[in-house]
A and B are shown apart, each in its own frame.
Chain A
Amino acid sequence: MTVASPTAEEPTTVKRRSPLAETWENLRRSWAGMLGLTLIILHVLIAATSPYWIPHDAFEMNAEIRNQAPSAEHLFGTDKLGRDVFSRSMLGGRVTLVVTLVAIVIAMIWGGFLGIVLGLLNGRADELIMRLVDAMLSIPWLLLLLIIISVMGTKMWVQTLTFGFTYGILTIRVARAATLDFVTDEFILAARARGERKRTIVIQELLPNVRDVLLVDGSMNWSWMLLGFTSLSFLGFGVVPPTPDWGFMIAKNREILAIQPWAVFGPVIMLSTLIIGINLFSDAFAKALGLDRSQGAPV
């Protein structure tokens, strides 16, 4: 700790704000971070409340108003089946958001836990499992997802588990690397020398230190997961129609891109603002925690 030495008047009451408050202070100073956070909150609010305020029935087809350009009645126009694109765009992120948010928590928990344990053991089991992890990551990510989804099916909870599992593999590496960074630090050596049990070391000494790394990794991983989920949906391996979903809407409405581009722009705008929001936030979040956003392809 490089805190300024306490002054003579106040030897013990050096005021330290909680780490959470400090992070929040740092985050608030970044306009990009706040813009990102606003976009994320807006998307969550839309997903949670849209069924109550969308102007039209998102499933109602009407052959008389097919492929209509935007108007006061239909803000983003209508699609090939005469459905209101605006209403569908508002609803289109509900499944995506629920699946990816739950899945990212699953990924952080199992990947983080396994990674920490492996980093701590650093032995033969570590060597073997890391080879398996390398192997999984050497398979093209899209193919891996396609195979798992084809095997497991596209039920929502199955997809949630699939994504939680697959993206947790990425977290193992991150958590392991972070653990290895700390394991040789003095405070861990001291705990080991005190003869503390491994479980105690993990929970009390390591977890708080690795936690920051995991949180940043999780928020970045979320955007990679969105990329994966919507890509599968785009290819027709995701949400089952007629449930509105951005990826699938873009895929289907591409057919009328020349006549009614807003049928594509609607979901594109919604999906892009969410992903950009998450990334602006992740970047600022990492800086606020004093971590530099390590960069690279997810797989």
Chain B
Amino acid sequence: MTSLVGRRIFLALVTLFFISLIVFMGVEALPGDTATAYLGQSATPKSLAALREEFGLNAPVHQRYLDWLGGVVKGDLGDSMVKRKPVAELIGNRFRNTIVLATAAALVGIPLAIVLGVIAGLMRDKWPDVFVSTTSIVGMTLPGFVTATVLIYVFAIRLEWFPAITLVPSDVPVIELLPNIVLPIITLTLIMVAHILRLVRTNMIDVMTSDYVQMAKLKGVPYWSIVFKHALPNAMLPTINVVALTLAWLLGGVAIIETVFNYPGIGKLMIDAVTDRDLALVQGIAIILAVIYISLNFIADLLSMVLNPKLRTARGH
């Protein structure tokens, strides 16, 4: 088991290295460099050259990559030339806000998804299943901005229950933030529930039609005992990975929802950074989100391993 975990850690590090390379090169290829972004309209060829010299932009690409990577490893994400602040400082509160949003959505969404998924799985092809499954496809594949816009129309404009956009500064305490973000939470929850419940349903169907459940049925084990004691724990195991993947995926796509609701999170910051050609900021956000993605996957793998005796001895792929 230790060697398996070691191998997973090694692979995660290799993946991270590739990510840093892709992100750096991709951002590097963006038209316009930090100096032009910094000077904006007032740029002259002379001032640009001077600034490039000052920022060390004239160093060869691989040198700058290594410098940047060295900083990242030590926890220094560099400075944003556009906003003239350290990247870490800019990300701080925004990141917390996105985590608040995602956590709230996960706390509501994951239990709901499991309950609905189990119900749909147990009532396969009957109307509750058809209803839940079809709705979940819609909720999952409609772009977040469509769902959000419809919710805003119904709950903010028509019913006037919740504010349509978030009008709080990015550094207010969580308690003051929450009442303002009911609609973003609902939007995110809908998408999350749709993703997770579909997998719970599939797993439930797989387990309920498996040999050992058939055997238990033949032996006369009561139905609900089969469901809760035998089927559910086994159906939950693969769900751990999906929950991690979905959370990570949502962090990547949450930018759209944050933009719709004008929510001061990391996603909105990311879009602004790309628009402003704020290279250091884009790189910093990309690395942070990628690390979260990989960590979530890693934790999910580890959890599955701990909970599943078969995987503990199996060789990893």
Interface residues of A (CB under 8 A from B): 32, 131-132, 134-136, 138-144, 146-148, 150-151, 223-224, 227, 230-231, 234-235, 247, 250-251, 254, 257-258, 261, 264, 268, 271-272, 275-276, 278-280, 283, 292, 295-299
| Interface contact A231-B286, CB-CB below 8 Å | no
Are B153 and A257 within 8 A (Cβ)?
A: yes
Question: CB-CB < 8 A to A251: which residues of B?
Answer: 145
CA gap between A296 and B239 in the complex, in Å: 11
The answer to whether residues A299 and B249 also contact, given A139-B23, A139-B286 and a CB cut-off of 8 A, is yes
Give the nearest-CB partner of A282 in chain B.
Answer: B137
Interface hits, B7-51 → A, CB 8 Å:
11, 14-16, 18-19, 21-23, 26-27, 29-31
Give the CA-CA distance A251 to B144 in the complex, in Å. 12
A230 proximity list for chain B (CB < 8 A): 143, 145
Contacts of A295 in B (CB 8 A): 195, 198-199, 202
Q: Nearest Cβ distance between residue A33 and chain B, in whole angstroms?
A: 12
Which residues of chain B have C-beta atoms less than 8 A from A135's C-beta?
15-16, 18-19, 21-22
- Interface size range on B against A: 35 or more
Contact residues of B: prevailing secondary structure? helix
Q: B213-246 interface mask toward A, CB cutoff 8 Å, 1 = contact, 0 = none?
A: 0000000000000000000000000000010011
B86-115 interface with A by 8 A CB criterion: none
In the assembly, what is the distance between CA of A124 and CA of B216, in Å?
Answer: 45
Q: Which of A138, A148, A151, A250 contacts B293 (CB 8 A)?
A: A138
- B82: CB under 8 A from chain A? no
Q: Is there an interface contact between A297 and B245, defined as CB atoms closer than 8 Å?
A: yes
Q: How far apart sit A147 and B274, CA to CA, in the bound complex (Å)? A: 7
CB distance from A40 to the nearest CB of B (A): 14
- Cβ-defined contact, A143 with B289, below 8 A: yes
Contacts of B138 in A (CB 8 A): 272, 276, 279
Contact A258 B294, beta carbon cutoff 8 Å? no
Residues of A within 8 A of B26 (CB): 144, 147-148, 151
Which residues of chain A are within 8 angstroms of B306 by Cβ–Cβ distance?
none
Q: Does B61 contact A (CB under 8 A)?
A: no
A224 and B149 alpha carbons, distance in the complex (Å): 19
- Whether B152 lies near A257 (C-beta < 8 A) is yes
Q: Name the residue in A136, A144, A250, A295 with the highest tally of chain B Cβ atoms < 10 Å from its Cβ.
A: A295
Taking CB atoms, residues of chain B closer than 8 Å to A296 are 195, 199, 242, 245
Q: Which residues of A contact B245 (CB under 8 A)?
A: 296-297
Q: Please indicate the chain A residues that have their CB under 8 angstroms from the CB of B286 in the complex.
A: 139-140, 143
- Give B76 Cβ to nearest chain A Cβ, in Å: 21
Given contacts A147-B26, A264-B149, contact A231 B144 (CB under 8 A): yes
Docked pose: A151 CA to B23 CA in angstroms: 12
B251 at the interface (CB under 8 A from A): yes
A212 to nearest B CB, angstroms? 19
B116 at the interface (CB under 8 A from A): no
State the CA gap A19–B11 with chains docked (Å): 41
Query: When chains A and B are docked, how far (Å) is the Cα of A275 from the Cα of B285?
Result: 30
B31 touches A151 (CB 8 A): yes
Between-chain CB contacts (< 8 Å), 27 pairs: A132-B18, A135-B21, A138-B294, A139-B22, A139-B289, A139-B290, A140-B289, A143-B270, A148-B26, A151-B29, A224-B141, A227-B143, A234-B256, A247-B143, A250-B146, A254-B149, A257-B153, A261-B153, A264-B149, A272-B142, A272-B146, A276-B141, A280-B137, A296-B242, A296-B245, A297-B246, A299-B252
